[in-house]
Structure 1
């Protein structure tokens, strides 16, 4: 049986699995320990060419999580040169609603933040997504997150997404400065507040957040899912990913967690297709 995958309407390119931090909930188990695994220029070009003419832009020429193209990781700003080249090539091919995701670790001062965002805007980037949640602020001082949002709004106007805004406003009301341990977060706000985090039971979360996930969603046996199907999730055409190793990563299925990083042996985790039966992006 061949699994037919529809053409994507929105997609992300994972430039690298290397990250500045090691978030407990990360579905890809990214960390500073990943070897670079940099995306080759030729593969990047083939990916972008394969997406040309297929992606749907956000209404009004803006950006949206499930529209157009996003550049992600890992942490894309760890290799700013690669990020800048990817933006230029995407813009040159006319790919719509291109934005980059970041945890803001690099926003150490106003000048650096503004300079890099202006470079990206001039290269053709349309906007910015800033990640903020209890796991990011364990290793990224919250003032850097605020700086990314503030300066990003000056550079991109309304094309700045905060993901998730619940935690951004929560930490602002708290007057948070510096970082906050997850244990202290739970003392202050309790585990029920994590329902705003859209936690997916896969990747590192199933090992580092086992107790929290069980408390929030209950515990089920594997046999309970034997009659279920992940077909719809695994063949969805929106917010799919193409990774730096050449894999096509479709939707997410919580019943098939990706396991520990050491078991992957250099390959991308998850359900992947190098050449989809319905279309060939590279």
Structure 2
């Protein structure tokens, strides 16, 4: 049985659609996603469960939550109604148009109990969002009395060395700062190598034989992370640092059927070797001789199940995570 007994601190994903398709995004967010957004009923159910499981505060993320500010406010109201505080809302600043419209939205979120925005500051976002928008949103927050959690200030000088009125590719950064610039972002940013981020930085990882990966396999403990889990708009529990896996939160807290969630259970109980054996014996997966580690093998299997076989498995949701990587 798959079960968690408590939840401490995590995030709520209101939507996966984003104005950017950042190369470091572990959730594979992009403009290609549907405009689906968390509704009031779902939000109320999620915050009720969170409070009952001992989680009294969360952050809000996406996608870009501010793509639909009127729906975001309803999510914030649901959090307040259920006694769950919102520590901050993550944003890439793409929605900044002018100061008046932005100030109005900022005052609205303040009225709903939110006093901090986490604003992305990095070369990945700058490929899609000109730096003037980031600077302008920070200024508007200051004027509205909304705190700013800058993520990450280390990159401010890098972005500020270019024309702020336009976007700039990572190749431009590489041209200005040297050929190792992109590779060094892995360590400078502290990237979670999942989703599109894994695809971007996969070349930096060492190749391992399939047999070595299988022989060193250990249970993954995907459900053990109670401090940085996420719950999304489809009421999926997303394990800590492992987007692309899912289990319905109401089933997880009661005890989910391991037969229904065979992929998750195989990893939870036996690690990537268990998943591989399941994929080979049940679905006809043919392993390669080498992979870039256990996560590469795991992701290759999951992509095979979702994209090649087009299986609609409850523990590999949402499908867009694999479609838009």
TM over 0.5: yes
Show the counterpart of 2:14. Answer: 15
Structure in which a larger fraction of residues adopt helix:
2
After TM superposition, the structure 1 = structure 2 runs for residues 97-112 of structure 1, keeping only pairs within 5 Å, are 97-112=86-101
The structure showing larger relative contact order (alpha-carbon pairs under 8 Å, at least 6 residues apart) is: 1
Residue 241 of structure 1 deviates from its aligned partner by: 0.6
After TM superposition, the structure 1 = structure 2 runs for residues 58-207 of structure 1, keeping only pairs within 5 Å, are 68-157=57-146, 159-172=147-160, 176-189=164-177, 190-194=181-185, 195-207=187-199
Q: Is this contact kept in 2: 1:128–1:156, CA < 8 A? A: no
Q: Distance in 2 between matches of 1:178 and 1:219?
A: 38
Unpaired segments ≥5 residues, structure 1: 57-67, 273-282
Show the counterpart of 1:42. Answer: 41
Q: Deviations over 1:172-192 (max 9, x none)?
A: 355644211111112223234
Q: Distance in 2 between matches of 1:222 and 1:114?
A: 54
Unpaired segments ≥5 residues, structure 2: 243-293, 319-325
Q: Is this contact kept in 2: 1:117–1:152, CA < 8 A? A: yes
Q: Distance in 2 between matches of 1:136 and 1:235?
A: 31
Q: CA, structure 1 residues 193+124, in 2 after alignment: closer, same or farther (shift >3 Å)?
A: same
Q: TM-score, normalised by structure 1?
A: 0.78
Q: Is this contact kept in 1: 2:51–2:84, CA < 8 A? A: yes
User: What is the aligned-residue RMSD (CA, Å)?
Assistant: 2.9
Q: Is this contact kept in 2: 1:91–1:125, CA < 8 A? A: no
Q: Is this contact kept in 1: 2:26–2:198, CA < 8 A? A: no
Between 35-44 and 219-228, report the one with greater CA deviation. 219-228
Q: CA, structure 1 residues 70+186, in 2 after alignment: closer, same or farther (shift >3 Å)?
A: same
The number of residue pairs the alignment matches comes to 255
Q: Deviations over 1:81-125 (max 9, x none)?
A: 110111122123321343211110011222222211111101211
Q: Distance in 2 between matches of 1:25 and 1:79?
A: 23
Q: Distance in 1 between matches of 2:111 and 2:103?
A: 12
Q: Is this contact kept in 1: 2:39–2:71, CA < 8 A? A: no
Show the counterpart of 2:55. Answer: 55
Secondary structure, counterpart of 2:11 in structure 1: strand
